[in-house]
Structure 1
Amino acid sequence: METITDLIKNQPIPKMVRIRQNFDRTCIPVEEIASTVQKELDREDLGGKIKPGMKIAITCGSRGMTNNALMARAMVDFVKSKGAEPYIVAAMGSHGGATAEGQTQILRDYGITEEAMGCPVKSSMETVQAGLSGVRKQPVFVDKNASEADGILLFNRIKPHTSFRGPYESGLMKMMAIGLGKQKGAESIHHQSPAIMHELVEEYGRTILENCPVLGGIAVVENAYDDTYLIKGLTPQEIIDEEPKLKEISYRTIAKLLFDKCDVLVVDKIGKNISGDGMDPNISGRFVLPQYCSGGIDAEKVVVLDITDETHGNAQGIGLAEVTTRRLVNRMKLEMTYPTGVTNTFLHLMKIPMIMDNDREALQLALMCCPEAEDHDHMKLIRIPNTAHIGEIEISEGLLPLAKANPNIEILTDLYDLPFDGQGNLF
């Protein structure tokens, strides 16, 4: 690496400032979360279907969600109040290395344990066939533990998907089609043409609604700060009719970078707890299938420095960057990363970018290799902690004029040099 170090050593790193991007902060107060969940469930056509002695499966997924455990526990308590027996099932496709133990660990990371929930937490990769999909007559699979319940309550966040557009993206319909389908069901959908994924999610989801005892669910929309913006109880018919409307609300509430383009985007950490693709392309602009999706910032080069602890070595999405660090590669576990690629077929997500020994060299390499930069003396660099938290970020001096002209941006500091330690890594 000495040759590369020598080639980039004179590349300056621009001075930075910290800014605050201001978005709508409307949210449900934390102290009202549990009661809101229970109120939404307490309808005759939803919670009213739960009778004493029934076994009720509550689905929990792999995506990070604020107040996740709080809402799950509220659902458990509601089911108990009806005299029924709740249990939680892991509904997350192939995540967690496509193992029952891995999926249990993901739930544990979110505080969803038997002790905290006050009910059993069941995780298995075993599925049963729920039926055949309506149009294409493909077998549709569902988690065996969920299939044995007298009723199923879905629980998931509604948000834009990272690789397709359609009436149903990330939400309850997809949780049924892919989450409850486990690795086998997820593979079945992903091994068909990506061009029809939005159709398959709906088709498989409707098949489960028709053939499994789904009572309804709790849909959650978060604001730009990942606070709980909206909680909505949905009956099976309302999942079909209302989820698309909630998806449109989520498009308006999600955060975004308030710049159209930059030369280099630096992402401190990626992970499956942040996004299915490690980093949300609706922020980063790096879509798995750009022919089907667009959005986010236009960055000539993307640098990823590390992965989250919660991703347990799963570095899916690293292939969407041009530069990374030896630290990240050393923490990457192929046994956690590769099963997702086998399932979703997006093998380019697993590719390893150029590896630099430290953060400073990673930034220097990316900055040096931006031939399309408008002003090489004032490079436009943005640094974010991850794509889920972009309220406060760092931008280079070259972006200051745009920031000062935007009423939704506050400049928090004077210009400063990025702080590197003795090993060349950012503090």
Structure 2
Amino acid sequence: MEVQPFHDTNGLLREVPLPDLLLLRQRFPRPRIDDVDREVISALKQAAVAEQIQPGQRIAIAVGSRGVAEIATIVRTLVAALRGYGAAPFIVPAMGSHGGATAEGQQEVLHSLGVTEAYVGAPIISSLEVDVLGTLPNGLPVHIDRTANRADGIIVVNRIKPHTDFTAPIESGLSKMLAIGLGKHAGALTIHSWGYSGLMQHLPEVAKFTVNHAPILFGLATVENAYDEVAEIVVVPPAGIGNEQEQTLLERAKAMMPRLPWDELDVLAVDQIGKNISGAGMDPNIMGRLRHGQKDSATRITNITVHDITDESHGNAIGIGHADFTTSHVLHKIDFQSIYINVITAGVIAMESGKIPLVVPTDREAIAAAIRSSGKPDFSQVSLARIENTLRLEYILANKVALEQIRAGSDVEVISSPMPFPLRSDGSLTPFHHDIVLEILKTKI
């Protein structure tokens, strides 16, 4: 049965006015690395990596599916360094069930991130075959990519960041890549079958077990600032994975995360969600929504609208279930096979993420529906904001009501006069991206 979008035959949504918006600019602390190549080489030298590599060794570099800033450059530089040491590096996708849980799909995901054989200078060997390294005391089997396990050494490359679904000393980063990413579909399915305890407790246990039973050389970790830029690049030795060093990097990542400048908001329009933006499509650390409750530090939002899926997601619309309204355009972009594999593999923590919200034909109708159902009978009192995605929060469009409710202490500048809600004649949104921001800045107050 095909999902039928709502049709506004009685004018329920046409009569809802959309407010004028102002362009706001948030400022966050911005430590960043300008020369990523040089920083990678510096980190490798500082950790004396050359002394760990023997000429002729085959070294597997594990690369995930996330939109890690400068990932292709980082991997290319690492490959060149390893070749300089006399090694023979190759790339393995480390992304659990992503890419439709197929070898071809996972290689395609790497390509979409710029990690191609031609660019990084190393072959990509993509397979779903795994070895079982052993079992934890509770009987949980520990899986690892077979090709990587049979190499002379393994290097995992990943960003350290807060997880989208739980809070713990170890969240997203090197441990998760070892336990779930390199565990491929089998490992992801096993750990996620334990629900929240699988992630909060067993994930670091599996990572440490992997460190002790597989040829892990080190992790190359990045920490990003609030502008989706690389702020730190660190070589983490095996003993630091799942332990204090990774925990310390996580705390630094949390301190640099962007935020919305509101405690509460009636309506938030999100231009795009995607796996390259967040593992959850749109980051609950920003949006606040979880299957079980609300992220304490995030904004409480009454209604969320979603208007597109990034091309890099290849139709995986994970996170769409945290929206209240979406459009026919989004619905038709969803690859249900991909999202179902992702959700069913992730289990209880992701079930909400794959549900389909109310569907209307156009962007305008989605936002009008969110306003009408916001619990504010006087539409002029609805606080509303629009963002590009949860990764880019420097620039925000907001109405005057939202402007007046900005959290005390937020570093927010108003940089435009009120302007009509940016819509085309067919009811679709005018894209909210860097070029549009620059155009608005030309008419800055």
* TM-score interval, normalised by the smaller of the two chains: over 0.9
Instruction: Specify whether residues 12 and 118 from structure 1 end up closer, same or farther in structure 2 by C-alpha distance, changes over 3 A only.
Output: same
8 Å CA contact 1:267, 1:305 repeated in 2: yes
In structure 1, the residue matched to 2:32 is: 27
8 Å CA contact 2:325, 2:359 repeated in 1: yes
Partner deviation per Cα, 1:259-285 (whole Å, 9 max, x = no partner)? 111001111100111111110011111
Match of 1:250 among 250, 253, 257: 253
Match of 2:374 among 353, 362, 370: 370
1:312 Cα offset (Å): 0.5
8 Å CA contact 1:131, 1:208 repeated in 2: no
Match of 1:108 among 105, 108, 111: 111
Instruction: Specify whether residues 139 and 237 from structure 1 end up closer, same or farther in structure 2 by C-alpha distance, changes over 3 A only.
Output: same
Match of 2:423 among 397, 420, 423: 420
2:18 maps to 1:16: no
Q: Distance in 1 between matches of 2:61 and 2:318?
A: 27
Identity fraction in percent? 39
Match of 1:150 among 147, 152, 169: 152
Match of 2:392 among 380, 386, 389: 389
8 Å CA contact 1:16, 1:395 repeated in 2: yes
Q: Distance in 2 between matches of 1:348 and 1:231?
A: 34
In structure 2, the residue matched to 1:184 is: 186
Aligned residue pairs total: 422
Partner deviation per Cα, 1:293-324 (whole Å, 9 max, x = no partner)? 54321000111111111100111111111100
One-letter amino acid of the counterpart of residue 272, structure 2: K
1:45 Cα offset (Å): 5.6
Q: Distance in 2 between matches of 1:160 and 1:405?
A: 24
Match of 2:337 among 332, 335, 338: 335
In structure 2, the residue matched to 1:359 is: 363
One-letter amino acid of the counterpart of residue 124, structure 2: V
One-letter amino acid of the counterpart of residue 358, structure 1: T
1:150 Cα offset (Å): 0.4
Match of 1:319 among 318, 321, 340: 321
Partner deviation per Cα, 1:346-380 (whole Å, 9 max, x = no partner)? 33321111101001100000100011x49642210
Q: Distance in 1 between matches of 2:283 and 2:423?
A: 27
Q: Distance in 2 between matches of 1:242 and 1:411?
A: 39
Match of 2:100 among 94, 97, 102: 97
One-letter amino acid of the counterpart of residue 227, structure 1: E
Q: Distance in 2 between matches of 1:147 and 1:4?
A: 60
Instruction: Specify whether residues 258 and 379 from structure 1 end up closer, same or farther in structure 2 by C-alpha distance, changes over 3 A only.
Output: same
One-letter amino acid of the counterpart of residue 199, structure 1: Q
1:381 Cα offset (Å): 0.5
Structure-to-structure mapping, 1:213-224, within 5 angstroms: 213-224=215-226
Q: Distance in 1 between matches of 2:417 and 2:23?
A: 8
Q: Distance in 2 between matches of 1:334 and 1:44?
A: 44
1:406 Cα offset (Å): 5.1
One-letter amino acid of the counterpart of residue 213, structure 2: N
Partner deviation per Cα, 1:198-256 (whole Å, 9 max, x = no partner)? 11111110110010000111110000001110111111012223000000000001111
One-letter amino acid of the counterpart of residue 351, structure 1: K
Q: Distance in 1 between matches of 2:395 and 2:78?
A: 33
Of stretches 376-385 and 61-70 in structure 1, the one that deviates more from structure 2 is 376-385
Q: Distance in 2 between matches of 1:374 and 1:155?
A: 50
Q: TM-score, normalised by structure 1?
A: 0.95
Structure-to-structure mapping, 1:12-411, within 5 angstroms: 12-29=17-34, 32-43=35-46, 46-133=49-136, 135-239=137-241, 240-290=243-293, 293-345=295-347, 346-371=350-375, 373=376, 376-403=379-406, 408-411=411-414
1:3 Cα offset (Å): 4.4
Is there any run of 5+ residues in structure 1 with no aligned partner, and where?
Answer: none
8 Å CA contact 1:287, 1:294 repeated in 2: no
SS of equivalent residue, structure 1 residue 122: coil
Of stretches 225-234 and 417-426 in structure 1, the one that deviates more from structure 2 is 417-426
SS of equivalent residue, structure 1 residue 174: helix
1:2 Cα offset (Å): 3.8
Instruction: Specify whether residues 383 and 251 from structure 1 end up closer, same or farther in structure 2 by C-alpha distance, changes over 3 A only.
Output: same
SS of equivalent residue, structure 2 residue 188: helix
Instruction: Specify whether residues 13 and 28 from structure 1 end up closer, same or farther in structure 2 by C-alpha distance, changes over 3 A only.
Output: same
Cα RMSD between the aligned structures? Answer: 1.7
Is there any run of 5+ residues in structure 2 with no aligned partner, and where?
Answer: 1-5, 431-445
8 Å CA contact 1:114, 1:120 repeated in 2: yes
One-letter amino acid of the counterpart of residue 362, structure 2: N
Instruction: Specify whether residues 47 and 243 from structure 1 end up closer, same or farther in structure 2 by C-alpha distance, changes over 3 A only.
Output: farther
Q: Distance in 2 between matches of 1:212 and 1:289?
A: 35
Q: Distance in 2 between matches of 1:45 and 1:401?
A: 53
SS of equivalent residue, structure 2 residue 101: coil
Q: Distance in 1 between matches of 2:63 and 2:246?
A: 18
Q: Distance in 2 between matches of 1:367 and 1:128?
A: 52
Of stretches 9-18 and 270-279 in structure 1, the one that deviates more from structure 2 is 9-18
Partner deviation per Cα, 1:25-46 (whole Å, 9 max, x = no partner)? 21011xx211211221225664
1:19 Cα offset (Å): 0.4
SS of equivalent residue, structure 1 residue 218: strand
In structure 1, the residue matched to 2:443 is: none
Q: Distance in 2 between matches of 1:115 and 1:366?
A: 46
8 Å CA contact 1:270, 1:315 repeated in 2: yes
One-letter amino acid of the counterpart of residue 216, structure 1: F
One-letter amino acid of the counterpart of residue 20, structure 1: R
